[in-house]
Structure 1
Amino acid sequence: MPSSLNIALVTMADLATDTAGTDVHTIHVLELARTLGRQGHRVTVYARRTAEDARPRIRLGAGATLEQLPAGPARPLDEARTLPHVKAFTEELSRRLAQPRQRPDLVHAHGWLGGLAAYAAVQDTDIPLVQSFHGLGVVESRRPGGRRTVHPARVRIERALGRGVTQVLAGCDNEADELVRMGVARPRITVVPYGVDGERFRQTGPAMPRGRRPRLVMVCGDLENGGVATAIRALVHVPDAELVVAGGPAREELENDPVVHRLRTLAKELDVADRALFLGRLPRKDVPKLLRTARLALCLAPHQPSGMTPLEAMACGVPVVTVPSGASADSVLDHVTGLHVPAGQPVALGRALRRLLAEETTLSAWAIAAADRAHSRYGWERIAAETARAYARLLPEPEPEPAALAEARREEEEPVGAGV
C-alpha cells in the first residue's frame, strides 16, 4: 500500500451547524477524516455549505480539511429538499477534482445523496469510487411508517450505486447480505465496521448524578421505533430498576412531543412513571457521562444499521442488552459483552434484566470484556487502517524501483568507511 494516499470524502450531510457530529453519518465522516489524516494520508472532505457564516475551508486536523461547497440555500435541508441541489454540488465538486493539485487517488462517498453526486463527478475519469451508505433505504422502509419517511428515489438510487461504484464498504455483515440481495456482487463488498472514540468514551471520567436504583440507559434518536415502549413494559418486571432514555427532541420540547407523551402515558398506565425518565436529546459531550451511570445499556431497535450506541456503551464498560440486528449482531457478543434478546418481547426482556442485575459477578466480567472489545476491535485507528487497506486494493501497485537506481541509492546511503 502506498505510504500516503490523497483521499476525497464526499457527503451532503450537514457538517457545519451546531447539530453536526450528532448522527452516525457525520460522526463517521469526521472521525474517519481526522484519523486517516493522523495516519499520514491527505484527506479532503467535500460537503454542502449549510450555514451562512460557514468558512469555505476548515482544518479538521493534521492532514484533514473540510471544504464546504455552495449548492442551494446555506441552511440544513432534509433529503427531499437537498436532492434538487445535487446537480449544483456535483458541478462544483467536479471542478475541484479536476484541478491537478486536488485530484485524489480515490473518492469515498457517504450516503446515497453523496454517492449520487460523487458518481456523476467521477464519470469520464479513472478515479476509483468507494461508497458507504450508512443504512439502506430498503431496510429503513421495513420499520413501521418507514415507507412514508424513505425518499421514493432512494432505494432505486442505492441499488444503482451499489452496482456501479468500484467498491462498497458495508458497516456490518447484515448490511453486506442486504447489498447482495440488492444485486451487488459479493466480491465488490468489504465489511469495515463503525468506530468508537476511545478518548471520549471510556470507563473513567465525569458521570451524571444518579440515585441508588440500578439504572438502565437507552440512547436512541428515534423514540417511536427504538424499542422504548418495549423497555417501559419490561420495567414492570424489574421492580428495583429505573430506565433513563436520552434522545428524541430537545429537553425543552419534551412536553409538546406526541411520541414522548404516548410513552409517558404508557408508563403511567403500567405504574412505572416514577422509574422512567426522559432526558431529551443530549449534547454529544454528555452521552458518556450518562452511560457511566448505567448498569446495563439497552439497544432494542429492530433496525439499527450502525450499532454506534452499543459500541459507545461498551467502551464505557457497560454491558449491552440488544436485539441482534444490524451492526450490534457483530459487535455485542452474546453472554460475553452483553445479551441478545428477541425484539418486542417485554416479559422475556424484563425477566432477563432482573436476573442479570442480580448477578454482580457476571455483570463485572461482561463490563471488562465489553470495554476491552470496544477499544481493541473498534478503535478509530484500527478502523481507519482497515479502510485505507480497502482503498489500497483498488489502486495499481506502485512501479518497482529500477535496480540501477536502487543500487545507486544504497551507495549514497552507505556510511563513509563502511566495509573497511
Structure 2
Amino acid sequence: MRIAMVSEHASPLAALGGVDAGGQNVYVARLSEELARRGHDVTVYTRRDSADLPDRVPLPGGAVVEHVPAGPPEAVPKDELFPHMPAFGSYLARAWARERPDVVHAHFWMSGMAAQIGAGPHGIPVVQTFHALGTVKRRHQGRRDTSPYERVGIERQIGRGCERVLATCTDEVYELADMGVTTRQTSVVPCGVDVGHFHPGVDTAAAPARQERHRLLACGRLVRRKGYDEAIRALARIPDTELLIAGGPAPGLLDADPEAQRLSRLAQRTGGADRVRLLGAVDPADMPALMRSSDLVLCTPVYEPFGIVPLEAMACAVPVVATDVGGHRDTVDDGGTGRLVPPGDPGAIAGAVRDLLADGGTRRRYGTAGRARVLTHYTWHRVADGVEQVYRRVAVGHALPKEVA
C-alpha cells in the first residue's frame, strides 16, 4: 500500500524531551518504520520548522519524511500552528494529485484538519489518531489550556467525517462516544515499545551512581500535567529513597526552565531537595539502563491519553506505580505488573511505593509479568498488525479503477 502519515508538529526526526516532542513522535517514527519494512510505501508529512532542512529525509527501514512549507520555517509552539493548517492541507492536495496514496493516517487534530483538506478532492480515506483530545485537556487544565478555541469543535467534525478513528486506549473510545463518534467508527490499537531496546538484560550504558537507598524514576516531557510535583510530594513520605526526574531541556539549560524551577522549589519546601535530582534530557540510548537502575518507575500525570513510559519500564522488567487515568488503565495490570493509584493523591502514591519497596519478591514478580505483558500485547509488530488491518478495511471501495490496456 501507499501510505501517507500526516504529523504536523511531531516529526519523527525531532529530538525527544522537548515541550512538543514526546510519545507522538515515537509512535509516528516506529509505526512508519515497521510498515515500511513490510514493503509498504510510507511518506510522513511534517511541517518544515527550519530553513536548513532538506525537502525529504529517509528513515531507517525505508520510510521517508517530507517537510511541508506551512508557516514560517522556524520552531513554533504547536498551539500556534492552527492558522497554518489550510496551507498545509493545500500542499497535501497538490502532492496527492501527483501521487495518490491508498490511505492517509493523520496524527493529532490539526493533522486531521490538514489531511481532510488534502484528501477530500481525491477521495482518499483518512484514518485519524488524535493522541490527545481537546475535551480532556480542557477538563483538566481549565484556563491553563492554551489550545485554540476551535479545537473541540474541529475534533468533533474530524471524528465524524473521517473513515475511521484509531483510538489508542479504551478510555478514549468512551470520550469519543460523548463527542458523537460512534463505537462502530472506532478501532482500538495501542501504542508500542521497542522491546529490543528496552529489555531487562545487562546494561551497556552507565546510569547515575546510586547511593545506599532506593531509587524511583519519573520520566517524560517536563510539563506540568505529567504530575512530577505529585511524585515529589509523595517522596516526603518515603524514607531512604531518591527520586530522579528525566526529561526536559539539556542539563545545562535546566536552571532557566520554568517547570524545572517550580519543581526544584517544591522539593526544597517539602524537605526533599537532597533526594530529588532533575536530570534534564537523557540520551535515548541511555534510558533503558536508567530504568533498570531504578526500583520503581513512577507515572503520575493527572491525565494521560496513553503513556508510553509504563510500557518502557515494563519492557525492562521494572514495576510501575501509575495514576489510574487514560491509557494506564489498559497497560498497567493493577496487582500484576504494578499498582494504579488515584490521580492527585500523593498519599496513595507514597503508600503504594512503600509497600513495593518493602517487598522485593513482589517487585520481581511484577517485573517478570510486565515484560511478558509487553511481549504479548505491545510490540511494534503487534501494533502494526492492528493498524494494517484498519488500513486495508478502509481502503476497500476507495481504490481507483485500474486503467484498461
Fold agreement, TM-score > 0.5: yes
Aligned position for 1:10: 6
Could you say if the C-alpha distance between residues 188 and 73 of structure 1 is closer, same or farther in structure 2, counting changes exceeding 3 Å? same
Task: State whether residues 291 and 313 of structure 1, in contact with CA within 8 Å, keep that contact through their aligned partners in structure 2.
Answer: yes
- 1:238-277 matched pairs, under 5 angstroms: 238-277=238-277
- CA distance 1:190–1:49, shift in 2 (3 Å): same
Structure-2 residue corresponding to 1:413: none
CA distance in 2, matches of 1:90, 1:17: 21
How far did 1:357 drift?
0.6
Amino acid at match of 1:6: R
Secondary structure of 1:196's counterpart equals: coil
Distance 1:349 1:83 in 2: 38
* CA distance, structure 2, for counterparts of residue 243 and residue 92 of structure 1: 46
Letter of the aligned partner of 2:9 in structure 1? A
| Alignment correspondent of 2:155 | 158
- CA positional deviation for 1:372: 1.6
Query: Residues 282-297 of structure 1 correspond to what in structure 2 (within 5 A)?
Result: 282-297=282-297
Q: Sort the Cα spacing of 1:395 and 1:256 in 2 relative to 1 into closer, same or farther, 3 A.
A: closer
- Indicate conservation of the 8 Å contact 1:203/1:316, yes or no: yes
Instruction: Please tell me the residue identity of whatever aligns with 1:44.
Output: T
**Cα deviation 1:105-138 (Å, max 9, x = unaligned):** 1111111111111101111332111101110111
Most deviating of 232-241 and 254-263: 254-263
- SS, match of residue 68 in structure 1: strand
Matching residue within 98, 106, 116 for 1:109: 106
Do the aligned partners of residues 97 and 223 (structure 1) sit closer, same or farther apart at CA in structure 2, a change above 3 Å counting?
Answer: closer
Q: Aligned match of 1:137 in 134, 157, 161? A: 134
Q: Are the aligned partners of 2:137 and 2:145 in contact in 1 as well (CA < 8 Å)?
A: no
The corresponding residue for 2:28 is 29
Counterpart in the other structure of 2:164 = 167
Q: Deviations over 1:77-116 (max 9, x none)?
A: 12343222222222221111112xx211111111111111
1:169 match: secondary structure: strand
Which is further off, 370-379 or 141-150? 141-150
Partner of 1:410: none
CA distance in 1, matches of 2:143, 2:190: 24
- State whether structure 2 residue 286 is matched by structure 1 residue 322: no
Amino acid at match of 1:120: I
Is 1:82 the counterpart of 2:81? The answer is yes
* 2:381 alignment counterpart: 381
| Contact residue 6 and residue 42 of structure 1 kept, 8 A | yes
Q: TM-score, normalised by structure 1?
A: 0.88
C-alpha deviation, 1:223, in angstroms: 4.3
The alpha-carbon deviation at position 270 of structure 1 amounts to 2.7
Deviations 1:166-206 (A, max 9, x none): 10001100111101101111100001101111222111232
Deviating more after overlay: 185-194 vs 234-243: 234-243
Q: Is the CA contact 1:207–1:288 (under 8 Å) kept in the aligned structure 2?
A: no
Distance 1:202 1:214, change over 3 A: same
Alignment of 1:205-354 (within 5 A): 205=203, 206-211=205-210, 212-354=212-354
User: Once the two structures are superposed, what CA deviation does each residue of 1:43-75 show, in whole Å capped at 9, x if it has no partner?
Assistant: 111222222221112221344222222222222
Amino acid at match of 1:334: D
Paired position in structure 1 for 2:182: 185
Percent identity, aligned pairs only, is 40
Range that drifts further, 389-398 or 196-205: 389-398
Contact 1:16 1:49 in 2 (8 A): no
For 1:171 and 1:31, how far apart are their aligned partners in 2? 15
Tell me the distance in 2 between the aligned counterparts of 1:258 and 1:34: 35
- Give the whole-Å Cα distance in 2 for the aligned partners of 1:395 and 1:144: 38
Residue 14 of structure 1: CA displacement?
4.4
- Larger Rg, first or second structure (1 or 2): 1
User: Are the counterparts in 1 of residues 356 and 362 from structure 2 also a CA contact under 8 Å?
Assistant: yes
CA contact (8 A) 1:168 1:190 kept: yes
| Aligned-residue RMSD, C-alpha | 2.1
1:195–1:116 distance in 2 versus 1, CA, 3 Å:
same
State whether residues 171 and 326 of structure 2, in contact with CA within 8 Å, keep that contact through their aligned partners in structure 1.
yes
Are the counterparts in 2 of residues 292 and 316 from structure 1 also a CA contact under 8 Å? yes
SS at match of 1:142: helix
Q: Which runs of 5+ in 1 are unaligned?
A: 400-420
Amino acid paired to 2:51: E
In the other structure, the counterpart of 1:198 is: 195
CA contact (8 A) 1:13 1:25 kept: no
Distance 1:396 1:266, change over 3 A: closer
Residue 391 of structure 1: aligned partner: 391
SS in 2 for 1:268: helix
Quote the offset at 1:18 in angstroms.
Answer: 4.9
SS at match of 2:36: helix
User: SS of the counterpart of 1:274?
Assistant: coil
